[in-house]
Amino acid sequence: MIITKQFLPLFIISLLLSACSSTSNQAFVIDPPSESQIENSVKQQVALTLNAFTPVAGQALPNNTVLEAYQARGYEPMWIKDKKINMSIYKLLDILEQSYTHGLNPIHYHTDIIKEYLALKQPTPQQLAEMDVITTIALTSYAHDLSNGRYEPQLIDPNWQLDAPNNNWRDLLYIDSATDMVNSLPLLAPRSPQYQILQKWLVYYQDLARKEKDIFVNAGVPLSAGDEGPRVAQLRARLVQLGDIRFSTRKVNEEQFDLRLKDALMRFQQRHHLSADGAAGSKTIEMLNVPLETRAKQIAYNLERWRWLPSELEANRIWVDLTNYTMEMNLNGELTSMKVVIGKPERKTPVFKGLMTYMVTNPTWRVPHRIARENLLPKLQADPNYLVKHGYKLYSSWSIGAKELDSTKINWKAISEDKLAFRFEQEPDEGNALGQYKFMFPNKNEIYLHDTPAKHLFRETNRAFSSGCVRLENPNEFAKEITKGYKQFNEMNKTLKTASNSVISLPTYIPVYLVYFTVVPNANGMLEFRDDIYQRDPLMEEAMGYSAFNARESI
């Protein structure tokens, strides 16, 4: 067996315990040390033990929180009371060993080492102190991971900037009773129904992969209604395995492609964002043959993404679902949804949270440097009249009071990307790239929601065409909803009629979430597996460094 550097402290402690432990699983009951002895040992051992138990993987363990909690208690042990080990420690071990149901890895929570301590017949004060501190580390680490996620999102993907940590997990350590601490642990998980459904499906896929072999559909010609043969039987069995066909006692010809099978296949196609034609072509068979273990890992990645969100979402919010190419507006108990266009893969729309504070009607578009270099300059080098034809003005620099220039008198072919310092502005008109509206939630990425003249793009299924900002299918409807019942509604209508460029402050500021999930529950509670447009799942796999299925197997 190879012991890596990060596992070495745990391995050494495990060896020491094995050398002095008995095979009994009962906690000590004879001649226990005094409480003062244990408290003195806790004070001596807490810093040493915290240093020994460096994190195994992922985010740094919040050791300072453990130290502060012991200091606040005067180094009184958390798990030993009246010379007895609190029985809630066994419930904690059960919870930690079930952490795989959240897509977390039980190896991070030291359960085997805690069990070694509990097996000692006559532990010394030092051993009791070590057990107390290690158990508290395990509790704290799990509380943190369940509440905030184990991994630092921006270390995985710099384009992922949505991380909303809370401190509820810290409060857990200041509850007087160890029993109450353990009972409060499950309350730290995200409260979204979507998280809870994902968790149930994770367990389903983990258990299924453990108990059964994948049923794969052999490659071949497309299968459709009326076909017969062993490949049809494979298709039917796979759809039963994945839950698209519910078990029935009704006898069927397994090798016949009937209407019931077609309906089930269409449901499968819909929840995998495939063309729902009810025929099993090459792309459908490819999706059918994704292993159960792979699906379990994908679910685990998305559970972690939910833990990066606030534990409770605001009732009024705007939810831009990037992998679904939609925007949902939750306002005053009503839900409105519309299609959106998002950033192309080479210009990803970042994941973050903002606060929408104002809107602009008939906006002028100041072209960002990157778009000017990558888009405008090549077009100007091909056609020096491009700016005039498309309603752009050119200024000598980005400074206030910069001089307006005649773009047709500049030798654009002599200008390289790194030397392009002009400011380009597109005037408000029907061809303006921002259309009639721009909805602002100030952020460092200069991302916003806006109108677009390119309405034909909303007819596409996959809509990753923008340079990063989010284009709305029905911006007029959106503008009406966020100003409904306020004076800003009339103000907006006036500016639209006069075609004037105006900034309108919103009557109520609205949180805006730009989110990215590759697995979500649909309205029927079935899982929807989406295209990983920006290839973020491989980054999650590399960071998390383990299989959700193997985590289940290791218990």
Strands 326-331 and 352-361 come out as unpaired
Q: Do residues 77 and 162 make contact, with C-beta atoms less than 8 angstroms apart?
A: no
3-class DSSP state of 62: coil
| Matching residue, tokens 């597996």 | 529
Once rounded to an integer, what is the mean pLDDT over residues 440-461? 95
Q: How confident is the model at residue 11 (pLDDT cuts 50, 70, 90)?
A: very low
pLDDT the model gives residue 216:
97
Task: Say yes or no to pLDDT of 15 above 70.
Answer: no
pLDDT tens string 333-360: 899 999 999 999 999 999 999 999 999 9
Listed in order, strand segments (DSSP E) in 267-377 are 317-321, 326-331, 334-343, 352-361, 365-366
pLDDT tens string 453-478: 999 999 999 999 999 999 999 999 99
Stretch among 30-39, 40-49, 229-238 having the lowest mean pLDDT: 30-39
Q: Do residues 103 and 56 make contact, with C-beta atoms less than 8 angstroms apart?
A: no
Q: For residue 216, which phi and psi values (nearest 5 degrees)?
A: -100, 150
Annotated active-site residue 369? The verdict is no
- Domain(s) labelled CATH 1.10.101.10 in the chain stretch across 215-290
The correct CATH number of 215-290 out of 1.10.3720.10, 1.10.101.10, 3.10.20.810, 1.20.140.10 is: 1.10.101.10
pLDDT tens string 537-548: 999 999 887 544
Task: Say yes or no to pLDDT of 27 above 70.
Answer: no
Q: List, in order, residues 6 or more apart from 291 with CB less than 8 Å away.
A: 209, 214
pLDDT tens string 211-224: 999 999 999 999 99
pLDDT the model gives residue 509:
96
> Distance (Å, rounded) from C-alpha 490 to C-alpha 479?
11
pLDDT the model gives residue 312:
86
Tokens of 58: 């992922």
Percent of the chain past pLDDT 90, that is, above it, reads 66
- Nearest alpha carbon to residue 112 among 210, 202, 11, 41: 11
- Nearest alpha carbon to residue 145 among 118, 178, 177, 172: 172
Q: Do residues 136 and 80 make contact, with C-beta atoms less than 8 angstroms apart?
A: no
Q: Do residues 506 and 358 make contact, with C-beta atoms less than 8 angstroms apart?
A: yes
pLDDT the model gives residue 411:
94
Annotated active-site residue 469? The verdict is yes
Stretch among 101-115, 245-259, 439-453 having the lowest mean pLDDT: 245-259
Of the residues 108, 144, 272, 469, which is catalytic? 469
Mean pLDDT over each residue of the chain, to the nearest integer: 87
Q: How confident is the model at residue 125 (pLDDT cuts 50, 70, 90)?
A: confident
Q: How confident is the model at residue 54 (pLDDT cuts 50, 70, 90)?
A: low
Counting beta carbons within 10 angstroms of the beta carbon of residue 17, is it exposed (0 to 12), middle (13 to 18) or buried (19 or more)? buried
Task: Say yes or no to pLDDT of 47 above 80.
Answer: no
pLDDT the model gives residue 370:
85
pLDDT the model gives residue 37:
64
Q: Do residues 507 and 491 make contact, with C-beta atoms less than 8 angstroms apart?
A: no
Query: Which one of 243-247, 488-492, 529-533 scores highest in mean pLDDT?
Result: 529-533
pLDDT the model gives residue 202:
97
pTM, two decimals, is 0.86
pLDDT tens string 503-536: 999 999 999 999 999 999 999 899 999 999 999 9
Of the residues 108, 110, 450, 456, which is catalytic? 450
- Nearest alpha carbon to residue 161 among 171, 152, 173, 170: 152
Query: Which one of 50-54, 82-86, 353-357 scores highest in mean pLDDT?
Result: 353-357
> Distance (Å, rounded) from C-alpha 134 to C-alpha 524?
43
pLDDT the model gives residue 55:
55
Tokens of 427: 């005037």
Stretch among 36-40, 131-135, 138-142, 488-492 having the lowest mean pLDDT: 36-40
> Distance (Å, rounded) from C-alpha 387 to C-alpha 477?
31
Q: How confident is the model at residue 24 (pLDDT cuts 50, 70, 90)?
A: very low
